[in-house]
Structure 1
Amino acid sequence: MWGTRNGENGGVVCVACGQTVRRSAAREYDKEGDRWSRRGKTFEYLCKRCHRELCHQPRNELEDLLVDIEREGRQEQRDFLRRYNEIVEERYGSLEERGR
């Protein structure tokens, strides 16, 4: 039989809700989006319920977009979100345009 990995028999903590669940009842989460490159990484876990609630759409360019907004200076959340929406529409068009 295959050997067990760290945490396989014990519990892991869901980074979203804080619930401790069996490793077999959790999903690995890699914030870099590359769970297949395993060397030197420590993975976080999500319970299955929280994993289902995640948006599973590609997030290419997201981090660069957020850094661009952050470079503009500290903002209130409302202003940050407004600016995020503006940049997304500038770069990718509005949702209405993309749906055509």
Structure 2
Amino acid sequence: MWGSRRNREKKSVICIACGDAVRRSAAREYDKEGNRWERNGKTFEHLCKACHRELCHQPRDELEALLVDIDAGRVDQIEFLTRYERAVQDRYGPLEEREG
């Protein structure tokens, strides 16, 4: 069914944030879908504990889909920021309307 935990603890993984190799037991799983408990058919990336602590742990509903829609990682930074601002305003309205 699942592999032995003892073997998993000795395995080395790469932190996707800083690039350091760390023991699996010294890393945290990162699930870009935001639900690491639903494990069927998934492969996980890993973060070292220090990088994991630096993450914002607030809910990120719809964020991954929005990033895919605007081709994040495939365009330069200026184009990404332009597309992101436009997409957020299209989906949620201008920030000024949400304040107060």
Whether the TM-score (by the shorter chain) exceeds 0.5 is yes
Contact kept? 2:16, 2:47, Cα under 8 Å: yes
Q: Structure 1 CA distance, aligned partners of 2:75 and 2:43?
A: 32
When the two chains are superposed, the root-mean-square deviation of aligned CA atoms in Å is: 2.6
Look at both structures and tell me which one has the larger radius of gyration over its CA atoms.
1
Identity %: 67
Q: Structure 1 CA distance, aligned partners of 2:45 and 2:69?
A: 27
Q: Structure 1 CA distance, aligned partners of 2:43 and 2:75?
A: 32
- In structure 2, do the counterparts of structure 1 residues 63 and 30 end up closer, same or farther at CA, with 3 Å as the change threshold? closer
Query: Residue 54 of structure 2 corresponds to which residue in structure 1?
Result: 53
**Alignment of 1:24 onto 2:25:** yes
How many residues are matched? 95
Listed as ranges, the gaps of 5+ residues in structure 2 are none
| 1:43-91 Cα deviation digits (max 9, x unpaired) | 2210011112222222222233234434xxx854312311211221332
Listed as ranges, the gaps of 5+ residues in structure 1 are none
